[in-house]
Amino acid sequence: MADYNVVRRRIEAFFRDQIIIDPKDVRLVGGELTALGIEQKRVASDRRLGLDLFELDGLAQGAGKLDPGLRERVKAAAVGAYEDGEEPSDLDLLLFHVREKSAAEHAGYRPVVAKNRVYENIEGSPYSGGSVGDVRPAPAFDLPARSASTRRRPRIGVFDTPMHAHRKFAGRYVLAGDDALLDDRPEWVSFSGHAIFVASVAARQAPDAEFVVYPVLDEERLTTNSWKLATAMAGALDDDLDMMIIALGGATADGREPVALARACERTAGIVKVAALGNNGQNMAEAPEGTQFSELPANIPMWPAASSTVIAVGARSAHGSPAFFSPTPDEAPWTDCTAPGVNLRGLFLPGQVWMADLDVLKGVAQVTDRSACFAPPGYATWSGSSFSAAYAGGAIAQQAYTKGISVLEVADGLFGEDPGKTPNTDESAPPAGVEIVRVT
């Protein structure tokens, strides 16, 4: 089975021969690589991010020239990141060497150089999840009607899988790219319906919003990478967005915010960003029998949700407590709010849908023999912090539209120094139920 050139460990996943560098540090980093006989090829640059993407050739041979004691220093610096039998990759060794040598020679200066990380959704590698359990058919329902107002509608970017063209969602979205729409087919795999479900959950709270679909997640492997996600976020500066809903994420061995994602969040500061806290909660006592729990501990930060520039949304059960799959605010103190995330209703795919499971070690979603038939045009219930993020994002956007103020103003009021009230939707939508957890 191909590994797609990705290193996979319990905590993190990343491309084994790619690095992201700030142009300011290309000369410094490049000099160290050349000295080790490692060739570098710039494969992409992004002016808005101020970052370059490089592919490396000869990495294994170059890493073989490094200090033999480096391996133990790498492991010691990432306590708890390596399971029994896991070892630092050649790229781990190289990056540690470059930073260590620069700090020693330049009074602590460490160049901006990082891995091109893998992020995932639903079931990904390593498993963090965007949804929990199999999606189930649901009775038909109507989305709340849009108001007759001619004012500019809030624009919400959905960074997810390609969109299914559900007829009940027609007129509420536009596509950011030629590959943002799924082709019709007689049978589906469950994860293909993730974007339409996320968008429709948000639309139930924000019927007056317009959605822009960014297909950053691979439909077959359910993954994206930090370069693709960050450049898509930066590119969205052309699209007049008010909000981004980012229902995906990943962890890092050192617990720090990934460079490319941090840069994208900083440079889209005028856009409110809402992200899923993660499905790596471990409340086994409350879980249904047979639940597959995350490989990640509940207290590990998931990015981008843990970023100081992002609203992190955890999932709440119908009883008001954190859902069994959602980290608690004590476990994840970067939580900003919680929202309903269990058995939410949304639009979905029509026809026969095969459920997918994850081979954690290979990072591959595999189609199972479990399936369900969804009566056209497709309605479902699903659980997960992805949908809590969509729920909260929609409620915030609709409050802004109702009040005639910006989404940023509402977010600042809710999470800033002068917190406002819990966001509510119009009377035709369910109560928002967004509970503010952390006020800074």
The pLDDT of residue 136: 94
Convert the pLDDT of each residue in 187-196 to its tens digit: 998 889 999 9
- Domain extent, residue 200, equals 132-436
Convert the pLDDT of each residue in 213-252 to its tens digit: 999 987 766 778 999 999 999 999 999 999 999 998 888 8
User: In the predicted model, what is the mean pLDDT of residues 353-378?
Assistant: 78
d(C-alpha 261, C-alpha 120), whole Å: 14
Spatial neighbors of 331 by CB under 8 A, at least 6 apart, are: 281, 298, 299
* Number of Cα atoms under 13 Å in the Cβ half of residue 218: 17
Supply the DSSP string of 258-297, one letter for each residue: PHHHHHHHHHTTTSEEEEE--S----GGGSPTT----SS-
Q: What are phi and psi of 374, to 5 degrees?
A: -105, 115
Identify whether residues 245 and 392 lie together within a single domain: yes
| Domain presence at residue 110 | yes
Identify whether residues 82 and 145 lie together within a single domain: no
The pLDDT of residue 24: 97
How many structural domains compose the chain? 2
| Domain presence at residue 1 | no
Identify whether residues 269 and 395 lie together within a single domain: yes
The total number of residues written for the chain in this structure: 440
| Domain presence at residue 15 | yes
Q: Give the range among 27-36, 70-79, 286-295 with minimum mean pLDDT.
A: 286-295
pLDDT category at 419 given cuts 50, 70, 90 is low
Task: Return the residue matching tokens 């300011």.
Answer: 24
Distances from the Cα of 186 to the Cα of 51, 136, 189, 258, 349, angstroms: 42, 18, 11, 39, 10
Convert the pLDDT of each residue in 80-118 to its tens digit: 677 778 889 999 999 999 999 999 999 999 999 999 998
Query: Looking at the predicted structure, is the pLDDT value of residue 438 above 70?
Result: no
For residue 235, give the CATH number of its domain.
3.40.50.200
Identify whether residues 296 and 415 lie together within a single domain: yes
Identify whether residues 137 and 109 lie together within a single domain: no
Q: Of 119, 145, 178, which residue sits at a domain end?
A: 119
Burial (0-12, 13-18, 19+ Cβ within 10 Å), 73: middle
Identify residue 387 by its one-letter amino acid code: F
The pLDDT of residue 405: 96
d(C-alpha 328, C-alpha 315), whole Å: 9
Identify whether residues 381 and 274 lie together within a single domain: yes
Q: Of 60, 85, 119, which residue sits at a domain end?
A: 119
Q: Of 84, 119, 154, which residue sits at a domain end?
A: 119
The answer to whether the peptide bond before residue 297 is cis (omega within 30 degrees of 0) is no
Bridge-based pairing state of the strands 113-120 and 132-137:
unpaired
For the question of whether the overall pTM of this predicted structure is more than 0.75, the answer is yes
Q: What are phi and psi of 40, to 5 degrees?
A: -125, 135
Identify whether residues 137 and 163 lie together within a single domain: yes
| Domain presence at residue 430 | yes
| Domain presence at residue 126 | no
